[in-house]
Amino acid sequence: MERIASKQEVRQAVAEARREGKRIALVPTMGALHEGHLSLVRAASERADYVIVSVFVNPIQFGEDEDFSAYPRDLDRDTGLLDAEGADLVFMPTPDMMYASDAQVTVHPGPLGGVLEGAVRPTHFTGVCTVVSKLLSITLPDLAFFGEKDYQQLAIVRLMARDLDMPVKIVGCPIVRERDGLAFSSRNVYLSAAERAAAPVLYRALQTAEALVLDGERDGRIVADVVREAIAAEPLVVLDYAEIVDARTLEPLDAVDRAARGLVAARLGATRLIDNIALEVR
């Protein structure tokens, strides 16, 4: 596996793979890899001949009071895991390699970036769209793989690729969970033992929403209230939001009469977690 920090060297490696007729995939990550990330690498390997994984903690998607400095980093461990998974290239730029000191242009996510996570983290999705557009421009993949845990991010990246005519297919991959249902996240390492024990309430609450819809409940407000009540019963969890939304537009649904998604975000001490679940109308 090649380990490259230079944008120019990545472009050269991609050009060589293209000359060999290979289909190229990108898996963007911020490192601190876990089973969720590795599932994306495996999905990419199944659908492409040449798999690039970027490992870059992107400073411009963190707010002023967020955890950029403390975000877990272990590049040696990450590259060992990626080597074992058979990735072809890991791209490991530094912030000054990715952003010129006088950089001025960013990519705005549009209205979808101002709701839910965007309402809580108002600059977050501009940072995401900017770095993803740069990574796509550098690596020129046929496919790019994102996890459904960050469901709003996935929806925004898909919209960005469509609206900006980016020649890449954005592939969403299922959430990977620990045995008790907690979605894998690099931030799970922040949780104390008590917070870790409380955290699966997010998924249990979403499962309750799923069961309600499967049993015929179609009032999105009722379903969302049940999720909020379930999470409120756990005293260590402070809810940011729990919403039932259209799976494509992320607009809140009064009536669950189409493909929908239950989305939650909550804080456990200093740690903020998100999760979601598909709500299928049958």
How far apart CA 44 and CA 38 sit, in angstroms, is 10
CA geometry: angle 67, 69, 72, nearest 5 deg: 80
Judged on CB neighbours under 10 Å (0-12, 13-18, 19+), 65 is exposed
Quote the tokens at residue 29. 């990550």
Contacts with 113 (C-beta within 8 Å, 6 or more apart), sequence order: 124, 125, 126, 129, 156
How far apart CA 179 and CA 196 sit, in angstroms, is 12
Q: What is the DSSP string of 159-196?
A: HHHHHTT-S-EEEEE---B-TTSPBP-GGGGG--HHHH
CA geometry: angle 205, 211, 214, nearest 5 deg: 145
Quote the tokens at residue 51. 């798999």
Q: Is 37 a catalytic residue?
A: yes
What single-letter DSSP state applies at residue 115? S
Q: Active-site residues: which are they?
A: 37
